[in-house]
Structure formats: C-alpha cells, structure tokens
Amino acid sequence: MPINYYIFLSVALFCVGVAGVLTRRNAIIIFMCVELMLNSVNLLLVAFSKMQWHALGRGNPEAGINAQIFVFFIMVVAAAEVSVGLAIIVMMYRNTHSIDVNFLNRLKH
Amino acid sequence: MNITQVLFWFLSIAAILGAILMVISKNPVHSVLWLIVVFMAISGHYILLDAQFLAIVNLIVYAGAIMVLFLFVVMLMNLNTETEPQKNRWLKIAGVITGGSLLLVLVAALKRADLKNQLAEMNKGDIGLIHNLGISLFHDYVIPFEISSVLFLSAMVGVVVIGKKD
C-alpha cells in the first residue's frame, strides 16, 4: 500500500480530532479527541516504520524497529496522562458540578 | 483489488466514520463507544502493517483500560444528553471550518510530495513481533524504559494527591 494513503488517513483522523476539540464543550469529549489525535500520529509512525523497512530492509533487517518502540512509549505516556487528566476532571466536577469547560473561564479573573 | 486492499479501505472508512460519529454524538457514552470502534480499526491497521505486538497493546491499553476508565468516569458523573453543555451554533461552525481548513492545507501540501515509490510494506517482515521488539527495547532503550516506570509512579502519586479530599 503506498504511503500516501496512510498519510491522508492519519491527517483526516487528526483533523477530526482538532475539530472535535474546537466544537465540543464537554471536558471528557475534548480529552477523548486528544486521544484520537495521539492515535492518528501512532498510526502514521507505524506506517513510516514499515516504509523504512521496505526502503532499507534488504541490508538491515532491523530497520524501522525504532519507530515501533517509539509508539510503545507514546502509549505508555498516554496511559499516565489519561489517569492524571481524568483525576483533574473528576476534581473539577466535584468543585463545580459541571464538566463544561467554559465554566472555567473565571480562572482568568 | 486483493483482500489486503479491501481490508485497508474497510478499516479506514470505519476509523473515519467512527471518529466523526464520536465528535457529533450528543450522548457521552455513545462517544466513548464510537472511540472504541476507532481504536479497533486502528488495531486492525497495525495488524495489516505486521505490527502485531502494537496491535495487541493498543487493544489492551487503549480499547481495554483507558476507554473503560473514560466510561467509568462518564457513568460516575451520570452524564447524558440532557446535561450535555452546548456551544452556540456559530462557534461550532467556526470549529468545523478551522478543522476543515487544516485538513485542506495539509492535504494540499502533501499531495505534491513525491512519495509514489515509497511503499508501506504489508504481509512481510517480522520487526513487529514481540521477540525483536523486546530485544531492541531491553538493549537500546533500557534507560527510557526505566524512566517510564518512574513516570508511572509519579502519575500514581499525582492521582492520589489530586483526588484526595482537601
């Protein structure tokens, strides 16, 4: 499969995530859109790793393995990030009884 | 059109449709379920690209653990369509236009890139197997691996500190 298709698929998923962050006010949905953007980048990294393997694989059978390790670390960091982010959202709900992000604009005063 | 291409198009359409439905559905529980569909489709893409270990990790960590955590929080707060905060229509239109123009700019910039001969090789290669990834992880990436364990510990402590009642 040519690499173009994977690039356009990842760009489409990323832009859906961006549009979701900009259009929704529910903090949890915004957080889920951020996860979607992280995953689209992961997909692109894996596709690039197979592209690297195709380009260099004859002489170097390990080509492209770094990208997959990188994706693994992105997943690790995303798991830690989600736990902290959800704790913050739960605290926000406990204090304001709402998960509307616009409610937080009083932080600027 | 062989079976790999059919699967590629099916998974791509499933991923994009799931993402769009995740953004537009009013009920947060439905959003979480559509996002699980997207993650399943992305795992299918990983299997097509012979990244079997990442496919399984994606299923277990994202579709399993993280989305269950999201679902748990959504149900804990008893969110549904009635309590869903709504932006006004112009802000929504502005957000969609912004995302659409980002898509337009990126596609226009990447369309002319000369990538015709670069293939993402399918059905070949074993760099995605756990044996090879494990050797690389524990030879070349031991330090980041250990640092990520410290990251997890600090995240755990942080969650407990944030979640504690004053």
Q: What is the tens place of the pLDDT at every residue in B105-137?
A: 999 998 887 777 777 777 777 788 888 889 988
Q: CB–CB of A100 and B106 under 8 A?
A: no
The pLDDT assigned to A4 comes to 87
DSSP lists the bridge partners of residue A26 as A100
Q: What is the pLDDT of residue B98?
A: 92
Confidence of residue B15 (pLDDT cuts 50, 70, 90): very high
**Residue A82 is inside which H or E element, if any?**
helix A65-96
Domain extent listing, chain B: 3-128, 129-166
List chain B residues with CB under 8 Å of A80. 151-152, 155
Q: What is the pLDDT of residue B4?
A: 86
pLDDT at A61 over 90: no
Residue of A nearest to B93 (CA): A23
Per-residue model confidence (pLDDT) at position B124: 74
Report yes or no: B129 and A42 within 8 Å, Cβ to Cβ. Answer: no
Tokens 């699980």 belong to residue: B36
Is B101 at the interface with chain A, CB within 8 A?
Answer: no
- The shortest CB-CB distance from B148 to any of A12, A39, A73 is to A73
Quick one: pLDDT band at residue B158, thresholds 50, 70, 90?
very high
Give the pLDDT score at B83. 67
Q: What does the block give as tokens for A78?
A: 């995303």
pLDDT in tens, B41-55: 999 999 998 888 999
Q: With an 8 Å Cβ cutoff, is B52 touching chain A?
A: no
> CB distance A18–B99 less than 8 Å?
yes
Cβ contacts below 8 Å, chain A against chain B, sum to 237
pLDDT-derived band at A58 (thresholds 50, 70, 90) equals: low
All residues of chain A having their beta carbon less than 8 Å from the beta carbon of residue B95 are 19, 21-23
CATH number at residue A61: 1.10.287.3510
A87: nearest CB among B46, B110, B163:
B163
Owning domain of residue A61: 3-108
Q: Do B127 and A28 touch (CB under 8 A)?
A: no
- How high is the mean pLDDT of chain B? 88
Please state the domain count of chain A.
1
- For range B73-98, the mean pLDDT: 81
Closest Cα in chain B, distance from residue A44 (Å): 10
Q: Determine what percent of chain B is predicted with pLDDT higher than 70.
A: 95
Whether A40 and A10 have beta carbons less than 8 Å apart is answered as yes
Contacts of A20 in chain B (CB under 8 A): 19, 22-23, 99
In percent, how much of chain A has pLDDT > 70?
Answer: 94
Chain B residue with Cα closest to A51: B120
Please give the CATH topology (third level) of the domain spanning B3-128: Four Helix Bundle (Hemerythrin (Met), subunit A) (1.20.120)
Helical ranges in chain B per DSSP H: 3-24, 28-48, 52-57, 67-76, 89-111, 130-140, 142-163
d(CA A79, CA B164): 20
| pTM to 2 decimal places | 0.90
CB contact under 8 A, B51 and A80: no
Nearest CA in chain B to A99: B85
pLDDT confidence of residue A59? 67
pLDDT tens-digit readout, B5-14: 899 999 999 9
Q: So what's the ipTM on this one?
A: 0.90
Dist. CA B18–CA B38, nearest whole Å: 5
